[in-house]
Amino acid sequence: MNILLTGHAGFIGFHVARRLIGRGDSVVGVDNVNAYYDVALKRARLERLEAAAATGGAGYRFVRADIADRAALARLFGAHAFDRVIHLAAQAGVRYSLENPHAYAESNLVGFTNILEACRQAGVPHLTFASTSSVYGANTRIPFSEHDGADHPVQFYAATKRANELMAHSYAHLHGLPVTGLRFFTVYGPWGRPDMAYFKFTRAILEGEPIPVYNHGDHARDFTYIDDIVDCVVAASDDIARPNPDWDAGDPDPATSMAPFRLLNVGGSRPVRLGDFIGVIENAVCRSAIIEYLPKQPGDMAETSADTGRLEACFGLRPRVGIEEGIGAFVAWYREFYRK
């Protein structure tokens, strides 16, 4: 297939692109390669994608563009007929959103509007986009289910991603654009984002620096290994969203619709307490952490846990990689890449 993949120089986008190229799809990757984190890491990912495409003979093209640039997207969609669009580009990060909300409005709201409109005008058969477990916000019912409401986000990043879900549904309803939204739960693994806790913890432990542990470590996260994420992204993109014939307007299910729209949790389904998680990293690097306990940060969620029943029902997929194996793979990559 001919696939547009936005944010493909990012962590998840890189791995999805590599999978698509590996199976022979033609991939047009779009990224603005911004400086939110180390640009050298993003460039290294792009170099590997070019090498993978050259080796496998797959079609691959990198377009440096910003999804908030409507004219650039119009040119791109005018030059290609895409069988699928996988939209992973976004301004990520919870804490950064506390200080730079305009970056999130520009990328996550304006940019996503441009993607939706471009898909509509081009008649794209299916749009798959990244959402986040953060949309569950103040919801304390564990595990989080797509059938529950998600209308009380506790940080602006989550608010923009929840807005994306609502915007996508409106296009599915008004224009018949098939859309799938994937709520990712704390993704980790090789080639990850340096602003993520596991990345920062590994670096600090190896360099003998203290690691900041917020809420005095009283957190639990549903860590999800990158390969499991990629399995779900590709499977969801391949399977075009359809209307739910049993959808009831009197008792509306937030996860589906009378329109070709669906939301799916993508998580490991095995929440890990933060202290135990740090212990796994310590074992992998064979060093002890110096821990600095700090109060809870604004916008932090105490626990995330995914109900992935719908994911399994739709695609027969279950998380395959446990935390010890996943962190081991990440630490091995980190040591090789940074020569530690």
| Predicted confidence (pLDDT) per residue in 48-76, tens digit | 999 999 887 678 999 999 999 999 999 99
Q: Cβ neighbours of residue 138 under 8 Å, at least 6 residues apart?
A: 152, 153, 154
Please say if the pLDDT value at position 287 is more than 90. yes
114 contacts: CB under 8 Å, gap ≥ 6: 67, 68, 69, 70, 73
Strand 261-266 to 210-213 pairing: unpaired
Distance, in Å, from the CA atom of 48 to the CA atom of 13, rounded to the nearest integer, reads 13
| CA atoms lying within 13 Å on the CB side of residue 134 | 23
Coil, helix or strand at residue 236: helix
Percent of the chain scored above 70 by pLDDT?
99
CA distance 332 to 195: 18
Classified as helix, coil or strand, 308 is coil
Q: Which of 36, 157, 171, 334 is catalytic?
A: 157
Report the pLDDT averaged over residues 172-180: 98
Q: Where are the domains of the chain?
A: 2-338
Q: 334 falls in which pLDDT band (50, 70, 90)? A: very high
Residue (of 153, 149, 24) closest to 101 by Cα position: 153
| pLDDT tens, residue by residue, 107-148 | 999 999 999 999 999 999 999 999 999 999 998 899 999 999
What do you get for the CA distance between the two ends of the chain, in Å?
A: 40
The per-residue DSSP string of 122-188 comes to: HT-S-EEEEEEGGGGTT---SSB-TTS-----SSHHHHHHHHHHHHHHHHHHHH---EEEEEE--EE
37 is catalytic: no
At residue 302, the pLDDT reads: 80
- Residue 73: name the closest of 126, 110, 36, 21 by CA: 110
State yes or no: pLDDT of 156 exceeds 80. Answer: yes
Report d(CA 13, CA 286) in Å as an integer: 31
The secondary structure element, H or E, covering residue 223 is none
- DSSP 3-state of 63: strand
- Taking residues 272-285, what's their average pLDDT? 95
pTM summary value: 0.96
Q: What is the residue-averaged pLDDT of the chain? A: 94
Tell me what the mean pLDDT of segment 187-194 comes to.
97
Give per-residue pLDDT as tens, 216-245.
Answer: 778 899 999 999 999 999 999 999 999 999
Domain spanning 2-338 has what CATH number?
3.40.50.720
Amino acid sitting at position 161: K
